Structure 1
């Protein structure tokens, strides 16, 4: 069995352990999608992770899902990220930027633009706006000729991410956002080359990944997937066939990794692990589900063939999570009320474990 605290070779990076800080939206960016000094402190505090994957970063204004999230589509945004990546590297860490295009999961109150998607089918559930939760609007279905520019937007943001000092990028292909919408059988009702059959529904994901690999190289490109998930109302039919074919296509790109969420049966996930010849990051528990990932979950999935383990919420209240896992110290609870409230409370106010005086 692989050991959670052993080093791992990921492309050109040597990770000191197999603990990955999973991407988590924290909505602390400044106006204009700029990264902030507080974000530099937040990520640097957690630099003992083998790899940090940043919060979702929009590759374009129309790709922005939530207010208060950072971008990588202007020169000012690139400059604002440099102190963040410098701080992580100064603390010995490695960080990938998660490139997240929200697609239909957006609102004109946030971007000033009508959201776009593979089809004119609105998301389910309320979306965040600057003035609170609101029903998602009807997205505009992309014309066939427009689709490639949105696939290319991931690559353009990846180039900017490298310029901003990131070690690589992760394409957000999960959780009901744009790539996931194209994979979906109910958000994607297209009848052109991007819809209908499994081969057509995976095309956008493959084109986005291919463009990114061409831009920055496969060793610096990962992708996150949530097989069978229902976030924002997406549905996947033929889950095993869909994701097996997608992984087969992605395998030819020599990606740094695929990052799975535990959104379908373990039997299916194990079969998909066997279908993927490269590095697998596994998030063993359902995102925003009732249970946080712990050491036992990590060891279980390392035994099932995962190479690296993603920890999400456990990293919020435990900047020293790796040391706590190493020594068996208790994992401090986090405060969900502070996830998205902004400011430094519940962001920079968690400390390393305090040992009692002898």
Structure 2
């Protein structure tokens, strides 16, 4: 029943995946004090190279993008060199790996880089504390100026170039889950009245500038994008967001990216303003390669691909519990069950 998952899949003329299963980006908080990938991370990714595509854990584009402890970066020479070890090990085992480019926006915290403030679309704080560091309460962000937005665009493009220099096969722009790019796309977090707010075209402007800058630097064929039209993480849903994503996804489609990745933790959730599941809405709105994630197993994912609901399946926590996930599914072997204690080590 899972045969469909093990067909090769051509993303474009530059990249063909050996199967339709991607390892989803999984935040592990295991980089060193300078946010450099460690030898344990090298081994961790190399063991999972049987996936058609590995998407790296979210990786910050510059120091003020950090919102969690020990998340790796892609802005220093040491970080680039550290990632070279990871990509070399994955390639040696026959795999492909994209770097997920990340800035957390209003859910960053100045503690991590000794700064005065965090940047966001608007000066609207997230009510809560930093995961793994509950003593840190989120601060009221500074509304980014036009000049600061222009610098962020450049820094995304530079991070994309750094990823290619580090040996990655491409990048995935993290535009989902309530982080910086996603904050511009939702009314709950974007209260601007300038060219970056108030209506779908303006709210999409910064995300599209980032996409275009990355494409200009490394090419559309090497660029993926993750989005979450339903504002379920770090923000409150607003029915008007549908108008933003109707516009934004049609603009994204014109860019001919490697793929579009649905950023849901649970794709069984339905949203009235989207007419049902997020993956269904995205398939109806975007006609090119779509990757889905969120609660699927190999059988349900394969069936959904057979039914043309999406093209690629991203698997998350089962990859933490099963470095040999691909082999186990292929040979119909029982999977090791995931549990939260597995987050304490890299295996």
Superposition TM-score, scaled by structure 1 size = 0.89
**1:1-358 paired onto structure 2 within 5 Å:** 3-11=4-12, 12-113=14-115, 114-128=117-131, 131-260=133-262, 261=264, 262=267, 264-265=270-271, 266-267=276-277, 269-283=279-293, 285=294, 292-302=295-305, 303-339=307-343, 341=344, 345=345, 347-348=346-347
Give the 3-state SS of the residue equivalent to 1:337 in structure 2: helix
Distance change in 2, residues 1:322/1:220 (3 Å): same
Q: State the alpha-carbon separation in 1 of the partners of residues 278 and 243 from structure 2.
A: 10
Of residues 57-66 and 263-272 in structure 1, the stretch that sits farther from structure 2 once superposed is 263-272
Unaligned 5+ residue runs, structure 2? Answer: none
Residue 68 of structure 1, CA deviation: 0.3
Give the 3-state SS of the residue equivalent to 2:57 in structure 1: strand
Give the 3-state SS of the residue equivalent to 1:149 in structure 2: helix
Distance change in 2, residues 1:335/1:271 (3 Å): closer
Q: Is the 8 A contact 1:176 1:234 kept in 2?
A: no
Q: State the alpha-carbon separation in 1 of the partners of residues 27 and 238 from structure 2.
A: 24
Distance change in 2, residues 1:30/1:268 (3 Å): closer
Unaligned 5+ residue runs, structure 1? Answer: 286-291, 349-358
Q: Pairwise CA RMSD of aligned residues?
A: 1.8
Residue in structure 2 matched with residue 289 of structure 1 by the alignment = none
Give the 3-state SS of the residue equivalent to 1:4 in structure 2: helix
Distance change in 2, residues 1:192/1:39 (3 Å): same
Q: State the alpha-carbon separation in 1 of the partners of residues 71 and 260 from structure 2.
A: 24
Runs of 4+ in 1 over 6 A off after TM superposition: none
Q: State the alpha-carbon separation in 1 of the partners of residues 283 and 50 from structure 2.
A: 27
Number of residue equivalences: 335
Deviation digits for residues 316-350 of structure 1 (CA, Å, limit 9, x no counterpart): 011111112222212211231342x4xxx3x21xx
Residue 137 of structure 1, CA deviation: 0.8
Give the 3-state SS of the residue equivalent to 2:150 in structure 1: helix
Give the 3-state SS of the residue equivalent to 1:240 in structure 2: helix
Q: State the alpha-carbon separation in 1 of the partners of residues 135 and 9 from structure 2.
A: 41
Residue 106 of structure 1, CA deviation: 1.4
Give the 3-state SS of the residue equivalent to 2:5 in structure 1: coil
